Structure 1
């Protein structure tokens, strides 16, 4: 089974925490410690805290560093404004890692492009692991000057390990191999199984348990498989599965008899044209919005929410059993503020624990995730479903209409984009949070202003039935251009 973890409260622990990073000598903007060929590109972005608040006046540094180096080469720095926003010049021909610090908190982020960078600051965590067959050398984190020795048994430990997207490098006389991963665990200690340096995977460390390469969060980390990397397919023990009682199947899945409205606890079709009595556009303070923006949809009109708005459907509870939620969206990608963009949510107030379920896009990981009980670190209250942004190798198109379908069936989630399953074909284990009563069901945002979905929304369906792949594909083909 997948052991999935979730951030506590409304925090995103998917951040990059620095340990022992060197400081630049100057406090002025755009300063390089000896580099003369900088300024070819401009990085702009925002620094936020774990609580998704702007880190005012945070120090931001662009470090020139990469996995095949033994130390940081140089740096350029600036200071964020009162809203956590910053911009700085850097040499676009070199590998850059962004570092930010705010008081006792710090964070790292690899440079993805020349704009729209997001760096989160927070407290560091401890990492424990080992390198198989190694008995000397040291480990380093790209973007950090702190190193730890590899002991005679191959073990090593960082007391202050960045959390987030990490390049962990094994050095023996020279850099030999690295292990890139994204952390997903909330706790203060992360333990990774032994890393193996394989000759056939030159320059990479791997884990022999193939489940770490599933594309989902497993064991507290999310590992991307680099192109050309040969991952060992060593089978590992699985929990025993007790088959359910055999019941004769007298009908086919998704027949008209199953899909009739009378048979379903919830069956909503929301056209987003201003005529749906079940929906109401609200501002994040709960008041009815003064203005609603309608745009051309896939069928008639759709709604484009302003930042701070969301659509409230009412107190319905699709999470009481199996469900299917679908929507068409013309998504605009990264907006430049906030950490999450929420598409569906059964929630009233996250901080007060009044949240049962939500489907969201996470900026830090560029991933689509489902969240139930955010405090349930050892259960299935968090599900990594797929990489989102196509610009980062994901599945969700930008600036064009796309169909999203989320299916929950017997404890597992399945995500489809444009009729194609993009999550684990075996399903991702998930459990909505138990609540005493249904929470308000919302579309496109929450009570947090920056949670608003960045894109037009149209033709939403919410049903208390787990539809199959054929049904999802047919729904997509109704309006596919």
Structure 2
């Protein structure tokens, strides 16, 4: 499994998530970002390490003046300690705190609007945390009839009922470690990261296995695929027994698209939507906008060498608009060439295609993004249901994925009969060879279609884009491979 997910606690390391580049940047600017180093209980210096970081929302926006508390806690305890380190982020969401590096530290952050989140300090430098509105958590512990559950870093507990069920009415977002306590002894824990927006998160029954050395597991292998599944991402450390795969219902094993010659597909002239932008300038219809919806200054648009002719190297806060086209009305094919430059400091999500007005108001019909938190290429509509948030494939090849940074790659997304098929460089890249079910969000009014970004500046695609096509038909795998080979041969 990808080293991104391997660490002592069995959850994602935010040091790895946000990179050494981010740590170096913050080290330069955070020497005075915190309003103080106040310690709970009047202690002024209890540790020998300083961690620096920032607080952001689930939509990757900084949280000004967020309250950040560092608790000394881990799954081997039955309750949260009273002692803590408290600081406040500055107006840019940045903070700095001192802590005892010999102890396990969990960060709890809260914004002034009721948002909250949890994270762990995995090293002596980075201490980043994401906040969101709390949600209800429901699950159960197999073969348990008493005891209670606790969340590492929080004081609230939930009793385990006679049928093993339990529920937290208000669980923070972020890195969560659930601990099952029986007879006042911590028995086992289940670690995961939240990955979707919603009021309630339901997790299947958790099992305690003797061979798993204190870990609770789920008897559904799909939760251990290394990407987001059913709203969370779970990691299994090396040496832990993974549950056997479950039998997938027959109705999900549908036949993939039938491969046909391109001559058997509707011709371009007969398609309701047929857009082809070469990114060579204004004469080909390419229009670049700023994230606030205004037209970008032509002098700010950077044209560079493309896969054919010129391409556009998007700057942060820019995107290409194609108007209120709606490929999601039926089957579609989206194709683009890109030189992706990988992670950019301050950007958790990078949008390649987005049919939306304002994500914070749930006015999004469809988008395809690279999600740095899960290192996945994800399709999103409602962000909650199993067909409204779909991880299509691991993204970055440097983390075992399919998208190579810093070289030309062809990304094609085909939507046919309610299922998505992702192709990278002519090859099917879905985790599922039969495609993934996906449901675009319904809207009565037209929604703008954007390429490489949206109204959120930090969501800009980090790279060069060229040769965009949007077509209201589902192209075959054979067609995808043929157009990829034709373009590569003409480089």
- TM-score calculated relative to the size of structure 1: 0.77
Task: Look up the match of 1:429.
Answer: 437
Between stretches 410-419 and 434-443, larger displacement belongs to: 434-443
2:219 to 208, 215, 222: 208
Measured against aligned partners, the alpha-carbon deviations of 1:281-307 in whole angstroms (never above 9, x if no partner) come to 111233221120123434443212222
Q: Does the C-alpha gap of structure 1 residues 330 and 140 become closer, same or farther in structure 2, counting only changes over 3 Å?
A: farther
Matched, 1:367 2:376: yes
Task: Look up the match of 2:48.
Answer: 37
2:178 to 168, 171, 177: 168
Paired residues of 1:420 and 1:473 also in contact (CA < 8 A): no
How far the C-alpha of 1:270 sits from its partner, in A, is 2.6
SS in 2 for 1:435: coil
Task: Look up the match of 1:388.
Answer: 395
Task: Look up the match of 1:194.
Answer: 205
Alpha-carbon separation, structure 2, partners of 1:27 and 1:285? 31
Paired residues of 1:210 and 1:235 also in contact (CA < 8 A): yes
Q: Does the C-alpha gap of structure 1 residues 202 and 403 become closer, same or farther in structure 2, counting only changes over 3 Å?
A: farther
The correspondence of residues 212-251 of structure 1 with structure 2, limited to 5 A, is 212-213=223-224, 219-233=230-244, 235=246, 238=249
Measured against aligned partners, the alpha-carbon deviations of 1:142-179 in whole angstroms (never above 9, x if no partner) come to 33344444344433332332234322222446544322
Matched, 1:345 2:351: no
Paired residues of 2:177 and 2:190 also in contact (CA < 8 A): yes
Task: Look up the match of 1:408.
Answer: 415
Task: Look up the match of 2:63.
Answer: 55
Task: Look up the match of 2:189.
Answer: 178
Matched, 1:315 2:312: no
1:119 to 107, 114, 129: 129
Task: Look up the match of 1:273.
Answer: 280
Alpha-carbon separation, structure 2, partners of 1:148 and 1:206? 19
Alpha-carbon separation, structure 2, partners of 1:354 and 1:373? 9
Aligned residues: 446
Alpha-carbon separation, structure 2, partners of 1:241 and 1:70? 42
Alpha-carbon separation, structure 2, partners of 1:398 and 1:117? 26
Task: Look up the match of 2:269.
Answer: 262
Matched, 1:444 2:426: no
Matched, 1:141 2:141: no
Matched, 1:288 2:295: yes
Measured against aligned partners, the alpha-carbon deviations of 1:223-267 in whole angstroms (never above 9, x if no partner) come to 3454444333364673757999xxxx9x95133342743354434
Paired residues of 2:291 and 2:319 also in contact (CA < 8 A): yes
Structure ranking higher on relative contact order (CA contacts 8 Å, 6+ apart) = 1
2:119 to 109, 115, 121: 109
Q: Does the C-alpha gap of structure 1 residues 75 and 316 become closer, same or farther in structure 2, counting only changes over 3 Å?
A: same
Unaligned runs of 5+ in 1: 1-25
Root-mean-square deviation over aligned CA pairs: 3.8
SS in 1 for 2:168: strand
Between stretches 353-362 and 27-36, larger displacement belongs to: 27-36
Between stretches 432-441 and 405-414, larger displacement belongs to: 432-441
Unaligned runs of 5+ in 2: 1-33
The correspondence of residues 16-27 of structure 1 with structure 2, limited to 5 A, is none
Paired residues of 1:215 and 1:386 also in contact (CA < 8 A): no
Measured against aligned partners, the alpha-carbon deviations of 1:298-342 in whole angstroms (never above 9, x if no partner) come to 444321222221111233322222222222333344434465322
Measured against aligned partners, the alpha-carbon deviations of 1:339-387 in whole angstroms (never above 9, x if no partner) come to 532211223444666543211233444433222346xx55733323234
Q: Does the C-alpha gap of structure 1 residues 436 and 28 become closer, same or farther in structure 2, counting only changes over 3 Å?
A: closer
Alpha-carbon separation, structure 2, partners of 1:336 and 1:243? 40
Alpha-carbon separation, structure 2, partners of 1:441 and 1:137? 51
Alpha-carbon separation, structure 2, partners of 1:406 and 1:56? 37
Q: Does the C-alpha gap of structure 1 residues 311 and 59 become closer, same or farther in structure 2, counting only changes over 3 Å?
A: same
Task: Look up the match of 2:470.
Answer: 462
How far the C-alpha of 1:407 sits from its partner, in A, is 1.8
Alpha-carbon separation, structure 2, partners of 1:65 and 1:409? 48
SS in 1 for 2:434: coil
- TM-score calculated relative to the size of structure 2: 0.76
Paired residues of 1:284 and 1:310 also in contact (CA < 8 A): yes
Matched, 1:159 2:169: yes
How far the C-alpha of 1:411 sits from its partner, in A, is 0.4
Task: Look up the match of 2:16.
Answer: none
Alpha-carbon separation, structure 2, partners of 1:273 and 1:117? 43
Paired residues of 1:165 and 1:183 also in contact (CA < 8 A): yes
How far the C-alpha of 1:196 sits from its partner, in A, is 0.8
SS in 1 for 2:265: helix
Alpha-carbon separation, structure 1, partners of 2:122 and 2:96? 14
Paired residues of 1:214 and 1:424 also in contact (CA < 8 A): no
